[in-house]
Amino acid sequence: MKKTETQVKVVEEQLSDICSEAVDLLNITRHDKTDVSRFQWLYGANPDGAAKIWSIRDTTSGKMVGFTVGLPRRMLVTGHAKIAWNCADFSIHPQYRTLGPAIKLRRAARQGVDEGCIDFLYAHPNDRMAAVHKRVGHVPIGNMVRYARVIKSAAHFQQRFCSEVLGRAAGRIADPILATVRRETWLRLKHEMKIISPARFDERFDGLFDESAGALNVMGIRDSRYLNWRYAENPLYETHAITAAKGGKLCGYLLFVIQEGVMHIKDIFPPTDPRAAGDLVARTLDLARQRDLKSVSFSVLDGSWLLPTLKQFGFSKREDSSQMFGYARVDDPNHATILSSKCWFLTVGDRDV
C-alpha cells in the first residue's frame, strides 16, 4: 500500500547523520550501485561547500523514504561570483512515490533560494521529475543534447546487413577509407598537444580560467581547486586530459573518460577559442582511433559555443536529450540572465555525478 502525503515530513539533515541511510536508498532506487566513498567525496569534500540535504521521513517509523541534495557550485554570473545549488540524487522509495512527497522535497530547495541561503539553483531531472520541477515553479532553461562521432563503423553495418560477420568485414574496409577524408586527419594543428593521464590540474588552469571567463555570462568556476576535486579525486572513474598550448602557455583543455569502448568527453574549455577547441577535438578523435574505441560522445546545453566545432569534425546530434531547469528569485537583478539558455556555458561535466 502506498503511503499518503500526510504520513511523511520534510527534514533538513546533517551529513554525518544519514550516510548509510542515503546510500541504502540510492541503491534501492537506482540501477548503478553506489557506496560510502561517493557520498563522502560528493557530499562532504566539495571545495565549494558541503551538500545541503533534505529528506522525507515516515512520521510513524522515522525511516528515511526519500531525499534530495543541493551541491554547492561557485558560479560566475556576468562576472560576479555567486553560489548555486546543483540539484542531485532525487530519490524516493517506490512505496512512497506519490506526487506529494516529491513536491515537498522540491519546494524545500526552492525555499532555500527564496530565503537567500543560496543565489539560485539548477537541475537536470529525468522526464518523470520534470513535471515536479514545473509544479513548484522551476523554469525550463534548455535541453542538454548529445553529439557523437562514430570511430568504428562495424555496428552500423551490422544493423544494416543484419549480419555480425558482414558488419565487421565492412567496417574493416570502410574505417581506413573514412579516416583519410576526416578533418582531423589532414588538419594541421596550431597548438602543442599533451595528454595528462590521469588528469591533474595546476596553476596554469587558474590562469586560463581567469583569462577566459569574461566572455561568458553564466558559468561554473573551473579553477584548479574545483577541477582537481571534480575529476582528479573522483572515486567513480578515471579522467584524462588533453591540453593545447602555445609557447608553453596553456590555451585550452579537453577532459574525457573511457567506458565500455566509448570515449565520453566531459568538458572542453574555453569555448571562446575555436582554434584551440578544434585542435583538442582533432587530437581526441585521433587518440580514440589509436585506442580502437567505438565512438566519441559529448553532451552540452543546446546552443553551446562548441557546437560549430563539433559539427566540423563530423559529430551528429543523437535523439537522447534531457531538460535543464533553474530557479532564481524574481527580485534578483540577474533573474533573466540566469534563466536564459543563451547566457549559459554548461557541459555534461557541470551536471550532477
**In which band, very low, low, confident or very high, does the pLDDT at 352 lie, cut at 50, 70 and 90?**
confident
**pLDDT given for residue 101 in this prediction:** 85
Residues spanned by CATH 3.40.630.30 within the chain? 5-137, 146-322
Q: How far is CA 271 from CA 106, 131, 279, 306, in A?
A: 32, 32, 12, 6
| 125 touches 140 (CB < 8 A) | no
**In which band, very low, low, confident or very high, does the pLDDT at 3 lie, cut at 50, 70 and 90?**
very low
Quick check: 5 pLDDT over 60? no
Quick check: 69 pLDDT over 80? yes
Quick check: 154 pLDDT over 60? no
Helix ranges (DSSP H) in 115-216:
127-135, 154-161, 164-181, 183-186, 203-212
Rounded (10°) CA dihedral 255, 260, 262, 267: -20
Per residue in 6-63, pLDDT (tens digit) is 477 888 888 888 999 999 999 999 988 999 999 999 999 999 999 999 999 998 899 9
Higher-pLDDT residue of 30 and 157 is 30
CB burial readout 146-169, b (16+ within 10 A) else e: bbbbbbbbbeebbeeeeeeeebee
Per residue in 93-143, pLDDT (tens digit) is 998 887 788 899 999 999 999 999 999 999 999 888 999 999 999 999 999
Just give the CATH number of 5-137: 3.40.630.30
Helix ranges (DSSP H) in 291-331:
307-312
Mean pLDDT of the chain: 90
Per residue in 267-312, pLDDT (tens digit) is 999 999 999 999 999 999 999 999 999 999 999 999 999 999 999 9
What architecture does CATH give domain 146-322?
3-Layer(aba) Sandwich (3.40)
For 312, counting Cβ atoms within 10 Å of its Cβ (0-12 exposed, 13-18 middle, 19+ buried), the class is middle
The whole-model pTM stands at: 0.90
Distance between CA atoms of 200 and 229, rounded to whole angstroms?
10
Distance between CA atoms of 190 and 231, rounded to whole angstroms?
27
**pLDDT given for residue 258 in this prediction:** 97
| 64 touches 21 (CB < 8 A) | yes
Quick check: 67 pLDDT over 90? yes
Residues whose CB is less than 8 angstroms from the CB of residue 272 and which lie 6 or more positions away in sequence, other chains included:
212, 215, 216, 305
**In which band, very low, low, confident or very high, does the pLDDT at 4 lie, cut at 50, 70 and 90?**
very low
Nearest partner of 55 among 7, 84, 91, 29, judged by Cα:
91
Per residue in 176-232, pLDDT (tens digit) is 655 555 666 667 889 999 999 999 999 999 999 999 998 899 999 999 999 999 999
Quick check: 173 pLDDT over 60? no
**pLDDT given for residue 158 in this prediction:** 56
Q: Let me know the angle formed at the C-alpha of 147 by 211 and 172, rounded to the nearest 5 degrees.
A: 120
Classify 308 as helix, strand or coil.
helix
**pLDDT given for residue 82 in this prediction:** 97
CB burial readout 219-246, b (16+ within 10 A) else e: bbbbbbebbbbbbbebeeeebbbbbbbe
Q: How far is CA 40 from CA 52, 133, 234, 328, in A?
A: 13, 27, 11, 28
**pLDDT given for residue 43 in this prediction:** 96
Between β-strands 240-246 and 249-259, what pairing exists: parallel, antiparallel or unpaired? Answer: antiparallel
- Grid look-up 576535486 returns 229
Mean pLDDT of 150-158: 67
* Number of C-beta neighbours around residue 44 at 10 A: 12
Amino acid identity, position 83: I
- Residue 75 forms beta bridges with which residues? 82, 220
Quick check: 327 pLDDT over 90? yes
